């Protein structure tokens, strides 16, 4: 493997993820964790990512399409995959911030704390998502765009109840206080936890492995479309 350019391949894909292709974020970040000592299987996985990009070379991020007001133009999707890291048993956070039906920020990364349940991992993900949303809300305010309350769309009812119900003391006393930032922001009406059906959870595409059919559906919902076809 010393003569195979794994680092260079991962680096080029990371650049692409940060620019226009969040749909490959999960696959690439999984390989990136082993870039210091990759095996043949990781190189084969990278080649599959390049093959996917070759087949979708004209795809990119699009915005608009539906008229939206300032109250609903900014929103985020938060998701998690429990214990996705089989070596350290850490969960994966997936988040996507959308503005006018197009992604402006996204991420797929392992959580720093080890979640003890699916609810905990979803809660940690929502907390990380909230800090990103507050930052974007402040940026928009500087540009003169006032967004009152921003929704975080989460498909876990239990995670939402942890955030919305301060009485959930017994279930949350072992959780680091820093993760309760999202609850404080909801109390200040800066954010609101909102329900979304699992089938419409866009953050799935950057959180866990999916079937081709579901990837294609979520890719379109995410706002990544064939630019060549749209321009015709």
The domains of the chain are located at: 1-57, 74-204
Residues 38/6, Cβ–Cβ less than 8 Å: yes
| Domain covering 74-204 assigned CATH 3.30.420.10 in the classification | yes
Using the predicted structure, report yes or no on whether residue 66 has a pLDDT greater than 70. no
pLDDT band at 103 (very low <50, low <70, confident <90, very high): very high
HEC letters along 83-111: CCCCCCCCCEEEEEEEECCEEEEEEEEEC
Query: Each residue of 101-110: b (16+ CB within 10 Å) or e?
Result: bbbbbbbbbe
Q: What is the pLDDT of residues 178-205, one digit of tens each?
A: 788 898 899 888 999 999 999 999 999 9
The two tokens of residue 39 are: 């095996």
The helix/strand/coil state of 166 is: coil
Q: What is the pLDDT of residues 7-28, one digit of tens each?
A: 999 999 999 998 999 999 999 9
Question: What is the pTM assigned to this prediction?
Answer: 0.86
């Amino acid at each position: 493997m010393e003569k195979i350019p794994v680092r260079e391949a991962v680096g080029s894909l990371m650049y692409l993820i940060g620019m226009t292709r969040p749909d490959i974020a999960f696959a690439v970040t999984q390989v990136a964790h082993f870039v210091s000592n990759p095996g043949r299987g990781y190189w084969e996985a990278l080649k599959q990512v390049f093959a996917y990009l070759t087949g979708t070379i004209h795809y990119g991020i699009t915005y608009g399409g539906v008229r939206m007001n300032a109250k609903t133009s900014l929103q985020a999707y938060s998701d998690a995959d429990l214990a996705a890291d089989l070596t350290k048993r850490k969960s994966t956070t997936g988040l996507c911030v959308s503005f006018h039906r197009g992604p402006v920020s996204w991420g797929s990364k392992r959580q720093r704390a080890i979640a003890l349940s699916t609810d905990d991992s979803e809660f940690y993900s929502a907390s990380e998502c909230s800090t990103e949303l507050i930052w974007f809300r402040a940026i928009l305010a500087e540009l003169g765009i006032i967004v009152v309350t921003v929704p975080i769309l989460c498909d876990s009812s239990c995670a939402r109840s942890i955030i919305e119900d301060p009485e959930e003391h017994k279930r949350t006393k072992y959780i680091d206080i820093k993760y309760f930032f999202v609850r404080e922001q909801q109390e200040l009406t800066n954010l609101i936890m909102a329900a979304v059906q699992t089938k419409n959870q866009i953050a799935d595409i950057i959180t866990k492995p999916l079937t081709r059919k579901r990837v294609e559906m979520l890719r379109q919902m995410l706002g990544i479309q064939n630019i060549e076809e749209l321009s015709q």
